[in-house]
Amino acid sequence: MNMRVGIEKIGVYPGTLSLAMADLCAVRGTDPANLRDSMMIDERSVNPLWEDPVTMAVNAAQSILTEEDRDRIELLIVASESGVDQEKPISTWVQRYLGVNPHCRNFEIKHACYGGTAGLQMAASWIASGLNRGAKALIVATDQSRSHFGKPWEYVMGAGAAAVLVSAEPRIVELELGRSGYWTEEVSDLTRPTSKVETGNSETSLVSYIEALDNAFLHFLERTPEAADFESYFQKNIYHAPFGGMTFRAHSALLRRFRKLSRAEMREHFERRTLPSLAYLRRMGGTYSASTFIGLLGLVDTCPDINPGERISMFSYGSGCCSEFYSVRLCEGAREAAALARVGVTLDGRKPLSVREYEQVESARARLVDCGDYEVPRDGWYDAAYRANRRLVFLGMENYYRQYEWSA
């Protein structure tokens, strides 16, 4: 197969508010060094009340799409475990507010943190089939955490969206079609059983993640036996990051298959091959299905020692579970294409919250869940950060119908 298929652009929206983990640790009585060094989390994103998974999805995509892109998109998939309606898909709002071509298949998929990769692979297969006739696909992963005050896992919560434009004109990475291994097994690790609850067994989830990585990689080796020379076959390695420290555990698990290394040697290998992918993730907290795409941008933006044509491994895991290990190649001009997302600038532009302010925002959001009629209150931050910028915002509910508008 000679057709090139891959990622042309990636847009990231990290919200406009942030919480420093050092501040949260001080209030909760936790050692900040553990969060910084072991968990590899420095900050997390927080949404104001007028942002939700719909607005994040649209705001992530609008910054990268041209009018030509909008006209050529004929497949739109939104991946989310933070769905705002039990029936109506987020993808319909995204299609409307982005002004995407109406001759467009659109739907929402849910498979925990694997959903974005599922959408990417579906889009790549459609484009590779040649039946797209030059059209493009837009995959958006968008999620936000629920409130977990005082829980041990509160530190790994977050919010954000990544919009991925997939086409036969890749500019960031080209997918190596067919070089993919996947593995699935039913496991009840993490769950969102109601509109207000996000819970589960974190230890079960961590064990399931490593087991899924191991089996997906074995499947990849069956199809790509030359990858048994892991060290030279891949130049960099990206893993799904429920929190940054999990990527060190994942990388160490794979390394043990090939080499016997001390912990210090493993750490050095990880810092060279994977750590750059956490450049933005450790400032956003948990980004669910978007994490591998944000990790890819972080790596391309901040890592100078990877060249066009070299391989990057990508691993995606979603609770429940399904996993996929696949291979991509860096494109010529990838750094220039990735820089268009301006993720670092956007992260720096967020407003830092105190722990009390963060608790107030999340408590207010929790009170409004399942309410059918309300108007979202605004404050001075809306005037400062939104009125002068064209962002989609959530107005509230009217007789159970969600209301949106552009801020400027």
Active site residues: 81, 113, 240
Q: Which residues contact 257 (CB under 8 A, 6 or more apart)?
A: 217, 230
Q: Tokens at residue 261, please?
A: 């290394």
CB of 61 closer than 8 Å to CB of 406 = no
End-to-end Cα separation, the chain, in angstroms: 46
Please state whether beta strands 374-375 and 392-398 pair in parallel, antiparallel, or not at all (unpaired): antiparallel
CB of 311 closer than 8 Å to CB of 329 = yes
Nearest 5°: phi and psi at 401? -100, 130
CB of 293 closer than 8 Å to CB of 322 = no
Q: Tokens at residue 247, please?
A: 């990527």
Q: Is the peptide bond before 371 cis (omega within 30 degrees of 0)?
A: no
Residue bearing tokens 């230890």: 203
Q: Tokens at residue 160, please?
A: 């954000």
CB-based burial of residue 277 (10 Å sphere; 0-12 exposed, 13-18 middle, 19+ buried)? buried
Would the CA dihedral through 166, 167, 169, 175 be positive or negative?
positive
Find the length of the chain: 408
- Helix, coil or strand: residue 377: coil
Q: Tokens at residue 289, please?
A: 């299905």
244-255 and 202-223 are packed helices; what angle lies between their axes, rounded to 10 degrees? 50
CA dihedral 103, 171, 174, 106 (to 10 degrees): -20
Residue bearing tokens 């705001």: 59
